[in-house]
Structure 1
Amino acid sequence: MDDIKSAVQDYILREFLPGESPEELRAETPLITGGILDSISTLKLVAFLEETFGITVEAHEAGVAHLDSIERIADLVESKTNAA
């Protein structure tokens, strides 16, 4: 699970928060409700998750309930990879 969190954190820092300190983006930092991700960046994140982890994120999973923190994203990815 730490590998998933690390990959997601690196991606978000690189794509959406360039120059931001990694310490500022914690596993529980709100991404969507905190304004870090908007609708377009959320779609980019979903594409990254699908490509990187070989999963399919369903439409009902592409929202705050599953993608609002690195912790929630890691839980989603782990549950999908375990189910496969």
Structure 2
Amino acid sequence: MEFKKTIKPFILGNYLFTEDAGALADDASLIRGGVVDSTGILELVEFLETTYGIRVEAAEMIPGNFDSIDMISAFLARKMAACVA
């Protein structure tokens, strides 16, 4: 599943207020770049839970899972694989 097709537009529209896909690289740090803060991460988690029907545990809410579009996509791939198994 291509998670970036839903994640990137959400981040661009809700945090950068643009539709320009070139405004944010998939590997750019969302946290260090000031794109999202702690509240933004919570909003992102809610979006992912609603969109993909998953439950993100508190222990999973770490920068290693949510610091870039690439990291979020990898996290979702692992999460969805665990749901299927």
TM-score w.r.t. structure 1 length?
A: 0.90
Q: Superposition pairs for residues 47-62 of structure 1, below 5 Å? A: 47-62=46-61
Q: In structure 2, how many angstroms separate the alpha carbons of the residues matched to 1:60 and 1:29? A: 23
Alignment coverage as a number of residue pairs: 83
Residue matched to 2:32:
33
Q: Secondary structure at the match of 2:3?
A: helix
Q: CA RMSD in A?
A: 1.2
Deviations 1:27-57 (A, max 9, x none): 1010012111001111000000000011111
Q: Any stretches of 5+ residues in structure 1 without a counterpart?
A: none
Runs of at least 4 residues of structure 1 off by over 6 A? none
Q: Within 5 A, what are the aligned runs for 1:5-20?
A: 5-19=4-18
Q: Partner amino acid for 2:43? A: K
Question: What is the SS of the residue equivalent to 1:11?
Answer: helix
The answer to whether the 8 A contact 1:13-1:20 is kept is yes
Cα distance per residue 1:10-40 (max 9 Å; x no partner)? 0001111113621121210100121110011
- Segments of structure 2 that go 5 or more residues without pairing to the other structure are none
% identical aligned pairs: 39
